[in-house]
């Protein structure tokens, strides 16, 4: 009789163990699915003071403008602004892994302007951008990467400005990323669309910046939505 009770007790404990294990596995799988879904909806804008909306309300910066465009079209994506004022490509390379957080479906790299303003050699900027792209793909292998180009004013000298402008399409081609030809197209050098420093866009200027990014980002989001 004691043997039978022990066998029944052993069977019950084993059965309960299997149930608990199955429930734990289901919860872990569900949590993983939730995390994957959240990640697949994130669009991280990795940039500097222009991305951060220097001198403006956060709601006026171009990442917030892009979020409104996304919502207007009913697209299931979250735009995350990861802009740090004064950041260079070297600084971006150091922070890219944690700036991505849980990951992203799309990452827009809007860095390089401060490199140019500081006269950093274009080859160094190109190397840093390549490192940022590799770091993104290491953490988010399926992420679509978009690189935003920049230009310098003519007073930096023709050799430098030409080499600087050329590095962005070159990096994009070498790393197979999409390219926004010039982040500040229609904004750079126009006093009415820039703040008093003639570097940072006004709220109206940020609308133009958002449109420049949207021309490339929009089709990417439509494609990703169809894949879901």
- 7/32 same-domain check: yes
- 23/95 same-domain check: no
Total domains in the chain come to 2
- 88/167 same-domain check: yes
* Segments forming the whole domain that contains residue 180: 40-227
Query: For the ranges 24-28, 152-156, 181-185, 204-208, which has the lowest average pLDDT?
Result: 24-28
Residue 36 has pLDDT above 90, yes or no: no
What's the CATH code of the domain at 124? 3.40.50.1110
Residues tagged active-site: 49, 197, 200
Handedness of CA 210, 213, 214, 215 (dihedral sign): positive
- 198/108 same-domain check: yes
| pTM (2 d.p.) | 0.83
Tell me the backbone φ, ψ of residue 20, rounded to 5 degrees.
Answer: -60, -40
Q: What is the pLDDT of residues 149-192, one digit of tens each?
A: 999 999 999 999 999 999 999 999 999 999 999 999 999 999 99
- 208/98 same-domain check: yes
Closest of 121, 123, 81, 110 to residue 187, by C-alpha: 110
- 22/119 same-domain check: no
Closest of 154, 204, 161, 211 to residue 183, by C-alpha: 211
- 31/108 same-domain check: no
- 219/184 same-domain check: yes
Per-residue pLDDT band at 226 (split at 50, 70, 90): confident
Q: What is the pLDDT of residues 64-79, one digit of tens each?
A: 999 999 999 999 999 9
Residues 6+ positions from 209 with CB-CB distance below 8 Å: 50, 62, 65, 183, 184, 187, 201
- 22/120 same-domain check: no
Q: What is the pLDDT of residues 89-136, one digit of tens each?
A: 999 999 999 899 999 999 999 999 999 999 999 999 999 999 999 999
- 158/52 same-domain check: yes
d(CA 35, CA 39): 6
Residue-averaged pLDDT of the chain:
87
- 75/61 same-domain check: yes
């Amino acid at each position: 009789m004691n043997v039978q009770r022990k066998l029944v007790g052993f069977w019950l404990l084993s059965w309960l163990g299997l149930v608990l294990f199955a429930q734990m596995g289901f919860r872990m799988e569900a949590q993983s699915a939730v995390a994957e879904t959240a990640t697949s909806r994130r669009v991280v804008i990795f940039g500097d003071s222009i991305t951060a909306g220097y001198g403006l309300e956060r709601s006026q910066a171009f990442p917030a403008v892009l979020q409104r465009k996304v919502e207007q079209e009913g697209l299931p994506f979250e735009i995350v602004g990861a802009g740090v004022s004064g950041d260079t490509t070297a600084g971006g390379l150091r922070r890219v892994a944690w700036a991505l957080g849980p990951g992203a479906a799309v990452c827009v790299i809007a860095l390089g302007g401060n490199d140019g303003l500081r006269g950093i050699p274009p080859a160094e900027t190109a190397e840093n951008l390549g490192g940022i792209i590799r770091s993104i793909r290491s953490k988010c292998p399926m992420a679509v990467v978009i690189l935003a180009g920049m230009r310098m004013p003519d007073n930096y000298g023709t050799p430098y400005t030409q080499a600087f402008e050329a590095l962005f399409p070159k990096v994009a081609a070498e790393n197979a990323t999409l390219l926004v030809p010039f982040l500040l197209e229609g904004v750079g050098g126009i006093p009415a669309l820039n703040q008093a420093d003639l570097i940072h866009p006004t709220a109206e200027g940020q609308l133009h910046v958002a449109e420049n990014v949207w021309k490339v980002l929009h089709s990417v989001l439509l494609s990703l939505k169809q894949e879901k």
